[in-house]
Amino acid sequence: MSDQLERFIFSHHDIRGQVVTLTGAYREVLENNQLPAPVALVLGEFLAAACLLSTTLKFEGLLSLQARGDGDVPLLLAECTHHSDLRGIAKLADGAQIEEGASLRQLVGKRAALAITVEPEQGERYQGIVPLEKDTLAECLEDYFTQSEQLATRFWIESSPDTVGGIMLQVLPGNNAASAAENEDAWETAQHLAETVTADELHSLPHEQLLTRLFHQLTPAALGTANIRFRCSCSRERSARALVAMGPEEVYQLLEEQGGEIIADCQFCNARYRFDGDDIESLFNAPPHTLH
């Protein structure tokens, strides 16, 4: 169950779902982000939600969930690939004063937006954005699906210092497994049952047992398990490509300003990539450049 996501469907109704539990991957993200407890808890919710969302899309690539605002935490970001590689980050404003028990909206500020971005390996990048107007991430995501996707979708997410767990339920279009009336009744029942879930159940129960306990009357059927892991997509090669994209004039100027060595730090995993004068010359295949 640890660092796993289970996909399921209700056998006789057009409703699907996912349940996720994160422990080791969650802790690895937090080890790379020294954060006040309220911010760490909210980042955990973003990590769980990114996992839940990534399984709903038919693509190979990356899904990112991001909140930006003008508050003490101007950025919260979680990313999950189709390989279930997960990473995340939270940024604190200078002089941030984080109150115990602060909600998502209190952390990111009143002028904030929630964005879901899909970057397929093949095809065009897509981004949906909605104002962040609710106190919890679950409520904000439900707003997103109501406004952007027109799919009835609900989330239940609970985080602790060590574990984060979540459930997502979503109506499938088509009304193929049952009549519209039967699906509507099942949807109302599923939501009511999911409302009874506790944080302890989300954090500690094996997924099969949790689904049976919550939804046995709707006959949940497992569709497959994904193993989640923390893995950063940074590399020396990607950092080098970013430098090349800046252009030689700007990079050589930066090299001089930084005393003959450019250091690229990854904010997700704290990896550090160093480029000296010889490295820069090889990137641009340029003649030697005298540093001062």
- Domains of the chain (ranges, CATH numbers): 4-230 (3.55.30.10), 236-284 (3.90.1280.10)
Low-confidence ranges of the chain (pLDDT < 70): 1, 57, 175, 286-292
Predicted confidence at residue 215, as pLDDT, reads: 97
- CA neighbor of 1 nearest in space, from 171, 227, 260: 227
The tokens for 213 are: 């306990």
Residue with tokens 């006789």: 12
**Rounded CA gap, 17 and 13, in Å?**
12
Residue ranges in 68-130 assigned as alpha helix (H): 104-108
Quick: pLDDT tens for 165-205.
Answer: 999 999 988 767 788 899 999 999 999 999 999 999 999 99
Q: Which helix (H) or strand (E) holds 114?
A: strand 113-120
* Helix (H/G/I), strand (E/B), else coil: 112: coil
Long-range contact set of residues 250-253: C-beta below 8 Å, sequence gap at least 24? 251/280, 251/283, 251/284, 252/280, 252/289
**Rounded CA gap, 4 and 93, in Å?**
33
- CA neighbor of 103 nearest in space, from 199, 22, 27, 39: 39
Predicted confidence at residue 7, as pLDDT, reads: 95
Q: In what order do the strands lie in the sheet with 15-22?
A: 153-159, 164-171, 15-22, 4-10, 220-227
Predicted confidence at residue 44, as pLDDT, reads: 97
Q: Are 232 and 223 in contact (CB under 8 A)?
A: no
Predicted TM-score (pTM) of the model is: 0.88
Residue 110: count of CB within 10 angstroms of its CB? 12
Predicted confidence at residue 1, as pLDDT, reads: 56
Residue 70: count of CB within 10 angstroms of its CB? 11
Q: For the chain, how long is the longest CA-to-CA vector?
A: 76
| φ, ψ of residue 25 in degrees (nearest 5) | -65, -40
